[in-house]
A and B are shown apart, each in its own frame.
Chain A
């Protein structure tokens, strides 16, 4: 990776390293790995595997957030796609049909939200709220309110299988993230997404078809949610319309924000968001392993979010600069004044 790329994800890597050190201090076996039965076993692998749904969602969410939007529907889309896949399997269709239908359902969900946003000009938060509220109803409609269980080894492999000793969900999110980064960064797509997020009117005047870009990012987000839904459903071998992906959209948004992506749109980093997802999962697993009651989970999460917000705040950064400028001015009277005026 380029040095610039490493520099971009450095704050997230440091946060992750500090967290791992903290967890290891309380639970010394955290970094231990065993190799048995042809698979790697250890808390770290567990974090990587359990973080898969949020990591997958964070990939799509980062692109959506980069356009200045937000996608609240991803959690329910997970429930819908899981229900579609399970229903297809129960109805006797094969593995390929189940996967194809689930991915198509995710694309359709993204298309629906994307159309509302791109063509009707509805705010992303409301447009995706519609699907978030009604989506769980649709998922329950598909499963008829029951938990659909199935037994199809090929499908379960996606959720609980191993490849080269590493759980399949880990491969899935690694592949999805790599593929998206390559597509977005090796073509102009990433630049166009950022342009739409920074100023939609200006980008339209510059000749960018903002509508197509918006449709594309919400469809990618839907696709990522479908993958996450497939992983979750395959892992438990059943589609639970009530609980699959419940509130994961908030974790995905949080991962994106921890990844240093501004909710106001503009420049984005998918690797940083995925590391953000791992940070969240490390907190969750770490709290469990350290023997804290799970009740503390949310409070610790809240404290962490506030801390990250304070560090990222553009206004506070201005204040700090001003304070720093004042301090340096006391030491070297002349040069700091110009800098102070330049800071917002």
Chain B
């Protein structure tokens, strides 16, 4: 028998496959590697931040700062490349160090102050976007030969589909996220924390250290997402990716991770991201549907998944435990 904990993940995959099949019946071209390649490229930055968000949510927390951190990253890269002679790789390394430290600082505040992550990361969101504004209020184009090389790097798949560098980075991020969450001691601590802080402490996991590392990881992923977003758009703009944190949370939930923490799979989030991308692609293919249907469809999907999860949880728990 299949573990009931896997039901949400399997449901996610099943819905993605069914949705893709429906799309294929209507538009046979949807199954080409070109569409698949674009699906990966267009959602690369979202997927990468969603990996970090999955780990945060597995621990029972939330990180509202990621959208602002992406915007900050783009602006930081653009301004640094414009004003200094540093090589893009050096700028990337600086940025990742900065966003990781930023995440760690938020984790430390959450642990030290005993405040809800929601409000601490909300302050982080204001700060990151505010600093982005202070760097520039305009959209700054990125113009650097090495940067252009990265942007135009792709592998040709059979069927002329382009597997771009940023698409590959996203897939790698999911592999890394999977290993970190499901194969390391840190990951075990994350799940323990998601099960309950008190229990985690009693089990002997170091709650403070784990909390700091969780938000540092999310900061790192948001920085990486920012680099990918800068590669994707070729510019830095402080008003970019407003609300991405909520989309990321939605993909994590659609991916079958419980928002209460302690149960879920990093790869589920990949399917959550792809399902969202698929809805957008379908609307583009259809051509007659207005863009607002995307938002409504995502909302309905989110609702369906949460209700499904609730039902599965109720089925999965033994009767005696359900009352507790």
Residue numbers of A with Cβ under 8 A of B are 70, 72, 116, 120-123, 125-127, 129-138, 140-141, 145, 247, 250, 253-254, 257, 263-264, 294-303, 305-306, 309-310, 312-316
Contacts and interface: CB of A to CB of B under 8 A. Distances in A.
Contacts of A253: 118-119, 122
B237 to A, nearest CB: 14
A135 B115 CA distance: 29
B292 A141 contact: yes
19 contacts: A120-B307, A125-B62, A126-B302, A126-B306, A129-B250, A133-B250, A138-B292, A145-B290, A253-B122, A295-B134, A295-B137, A299-B126, A299-B127, A302-B124, A309-B113, A312-B115, A313-B115, A314-B114, A315-B112
Contact of B300 (A134, A263, A295): A134
Contact of B249 (A129, A254, A257): A129
A126 B302 CA distance: 9
Nearest to B311: A120
B4 interface: no
Report the 10 A-B pairs with minimum CB-CB distance, sorted nearest first.
Answer: A134-B299, A298-B130, A137-B295, A299-B130, A302-B127, A315-B114, A140-B292, A295-B133, A302-B126, A313-B113
A302 B294 contact: no
Given A125-B62, A129-B249, A302 B298 contact: no
Contacts of A135: 299
Interface residues of B, number: 45
B283 to A, nearest CB: 11
A140 B152 CA distance: 36
The interface residues of chain B, by DSSP majority, are classed as: helix
Contacts of A297: 130, 133
Given A133-B299, A134-B298, A145-B292, A257 B130 contact: no
B264 to A, nearest CB: 13
B64 to A, nearest CB: 8
B246 A129 contact: yes
B29 interface: no
Given A121-B310, A306-B109, A296 B122 contact: no
B95 interface: no
A126 B260 CA distance: 10
Given A130-B306, A298-B130, 14 more contacts: A70-B118, A130-B303, A136-B295, A137-B293, A137-B294, A137-B296, A140-B290, A141-B296, A254-B119, A295-B133, A296-B134, A299-B134, A302-B127, A313-B113
A126 B259 contact: yes
B113 A299 contact: no
A133 B292 contact: no
Contacts of B113: 309-310, 313, 315-316
A309 B120 contact: yes
Nearest to A256: B119
The interface centre, meaning the residue of A264, A309, A315 with most chain B CB atoms within 10 A of its CB, is A309
Given A134-B296, A309-B119, A309-B120, A125 B259 contact: yes
Nearest to A314: B114
Contacts of B119: 253-254, 257, 263, 305, 309
B157 interface: no
Contact of A136 (B129, B290, B292, B306): B292
Contacts of B292: 136-138, 140-141, 145
B123 interface: yes
B116 interface: yes
Nearest to A143: B292
Nearest to B302: A130
B131 interface: yes
Contact of B126 (A120, A132, A298, A313): A298
B46 interface: no
Nearest to B242: A247
The interface centre, meaning the residue of A125, A145, A305 with most chain B CB atoms within 10 A of its CB, is A305
Nearest to B238: A295
A23 B290 CA distance: 46
Contacts of A254: 119, 122
A301 B296 contact: no
Contacts of B296: 134, 137-138, 141
Nearest to A319: B112
A305 B126 contact: yes
B124 A313 contact: no
A316 B109 CA distance: 11
Contacts of A301: 126, 130
B253 A316 contact: no
A298 B137 CA distance: 13
Nearest to A300: B130
Given A133-B246, A299-B126, A309 B137 contact: no
Nearest to B64: A250
Contacts of A314: 114
Given A131-B299, A309-B109, A298 B246 contact: no
Given A137-B299, A138-B296, A309-B115, A123 B259 contact: yes
A263 B310 contact: no
B135 to A, nearest CB: 9
Interface string B51-63: 0000000000010
A302 B295 CA distance: 29
